[in-house]
Amino acid sequence: MFIAIFILSLQSNRDSTNSIANRIKPPLKMVSYTAAGTIYFNGLILIVFSFGSFSEAKMKVLLVSSLISMVLSLIAIVYTSINLLSNVSGLKTSSEKLVYISDLLRGQEGNPISPLKQSEKDTQFCIKSLDDENPEVRAIAAEALGQARGPEVEKALLELLEDKNSRVRITAARNLGRIGTENAAEPLIKRLAVDKDPVFRACAIESLGNLKDKRAIEPLIKSLDDKVPEVRLVAARALGILGGDKAEEALIRKLNKSSPELQKQIILALGNSGSKKAAGLNSKKATGALIYKLRDKDPELRKCAAESLGKLEDPESVDPLLECLGDTNPEVRNAAAYSLGTLRAEKATDSLMGMLTEEDSELRITAVYALGNIGSRKAVDALLKTLDDSNPWVRRYAAEALAKIGDKKATVPLVKNLNDPDPEVQWATAEALRLLDKQNSR
């Protein structure tokens, strides 16, 4: 019976023994096979004992052999366990690496301090995992390294730009822009020129924009002609971030020769603060191009142009924006009102006061906000009336606007609004009264 049980055990455990051994490195394979072998050796000794009697000397030899094999087996098991519990990447299969790195990424969710920034061991594990033959492992390791820092991490991600798998390259490109390494611009530009994957090109362009390296301007201008629309959109956005004469001129040239989607992105890019102010430009080209788009037949483009003109803060746009307050589209009027407030255009006060009676509450909210920014005392009486508006956001912004203007005649009406049913309005009113008291006690 014992012999039968032993043979069945040998057969049933053979596959599991091979499976365990195949999951680890050759040195540990030998150890695991040794451990399994000693177990079977002891089984064979017991079988031999069952067949007959032996001399005392032979018995001692068999018992000593059995004892030695058991000690070796114990050493092998302990050694194998220690190594399997370690974080050495060579001891993990691709599946184990995926699980381990996924846990690292989950640990980063909602955590202001990335675990990789705290654990050099985990960082090294991820770097070593970049050599795994499974592209999923390389991609997830690259994703995790986006939360780490240091020359070794940057070098590892830069090398991945040449990976044969596009997902791995995409992850590396995105994280290089996230890390903000100065050494990434040139390799990204080089790969951008030859990569056939449009998703990679879009990620590389976005990262180049985030890096704010002026060397990227020419390649990004070329990308405005990319055959894939999404890549062209990202290129326009990145050029807006980078700014400069060349970027601005290229965007303007493309403005009226592009699809509505790309025109919208170009308009927003021209309004980006990096497009004009940060570059110290004196050119009026961007302002002129955007003013022209205020007359476009597409209301979405008119709205975007009005928004961007407010960001450029050019006084020449005040009159064209005033005309937009009469636009047939409420979103265009709303954008124009907001930009006039940003520009602190006092000549817009009367027109904005007229918007306080609009049926659309969004227009009333924006008009109140803009009047507060402009700060004209001429608007105080009109703003006091909005303290009773049906929309709580109008009442809240009215309190804030009156505080900005600083006219003490607003004090008594504001005190009444301390009992407003909306807690946000109550808070804004109390803060407005505090500011008014501070201003009038000087």
pLDDT at residue 104 in the model: 80
Helices (H), 375-422: 380-385, 392-405, 411-416
| The two structure tokens encoding residue 299 | 């209301």
Confidence band of 4 (pLDDT split at 50, 70, 90): very low
pLDDT: is 313 or 220 the higher one? Answer: 220
pLDDT: is 312 or 73 the higher one? Answer: 312
Give the tens place of pLDDT for each residue, 423-437.
999 999 999 999 998
pLDDT at residue 24 in the model: 43
pLDDT over threshold 80, residue 364: yes
pLDDT at residue 72 in the model: 67
| The two structure tokens encoding residue 297 | 């037949």
pLDDT: is 245 or 361 the higher one? Answer: 361
pLDDT at residue 103 in the model: 81
**Range scoring the smallest mean pLDDT among 77-86, 252-261, 317-326, 390-399:** 77-86
Mean pLDDT computed over 317-325? 97
Mean pLDDT computed over 235-257? 93
| CA atoms of 326 and 354, how far apart (whole Å) | 11
Residue 153's nearest CA partner among 187, 176, 119 is 176
pLDDT at residue 15 in the model: 43
pLDDT at residue 125 in the model: 87
pLDDT at residue 50 in the model: 58
| The two structure tokens encoding residue 151 | 């020359």
Instruction: Judge whether 125 and 116 are in contact, CB under 8 Å.
Output: no
φ, ψ of residue 133 to 5 degrees: the values are -75, -20
Confidence band of 410 (pLDDT split at 50, 70, 90): very high
pLDDT: is 82 or 98 the higher one? Answer: 98
Give the tens place of pLDDT for each residue, 130-148.
988 999 999 999 998 888 8
Instruction: Judge whether 191 and 204 are in contact, CB under 8 Å.
Output: yes
| The two structure tokens encoding residue 295 | 């007359």
Mean pLDDT computed over 147-158? 88
pLDDT at residue 12 in the model: 45
Mean pLDDT computed over 323-343? 97
Confidence band of 172 (pLDDT split at 50, 70, 90): very high
Q: What percent of the chain has pLDDT over 90?
A: 60
Mean pLDDT computed over 275-289? 65
Give the tens place of pLDDT for each residue, 22-73.
444 444 555 556 656 666 666 666 666 555 565 666 666 666 666 676 666 6
pLDDT: is 282 or 227 the higher one? Answer: 227
| CA atoms of 420 and 426, how far apart (whole Å) | 6
pLDDT over threshold 70, residue 21: no
pLDDT: is 352 or 54 the higher one? Answer: 352
pLDDT at residue 58 in the model: 61
The dihedral over CA atoms of 148, 150, 155, 161, expressed in degrees to the nearest 10, equals 30
pLDDT at residue 22 in the model: 43
Given the structure tokens 């995790």, which residue do they identify?
144
pLDDT over threshold 50, residue 87: no
| The two structure tokens encoding residue 6 | 């032993």
φ, ψ of residue 214 to 5 degrees: the values are -65, -20
Q: Which DSSP letter does residue 297 get?
A: S
| CA atoms of 300 and 359, how far apart (whole Å) | 21
Instruction: Judge whether 139 and 167 are in contact, CB under 8 Å.
Output: yes
| CA atoms of 240 and 238, how far apart (whole Å) | 5
pLDDT at residue 121 in the model: 84
Q: Which DSSP letter does residue 391 get?
A: S
Mean pLDDT (the chain) is 83
9 Cβ neighbours under 8 A, 6+ residues apart: 43
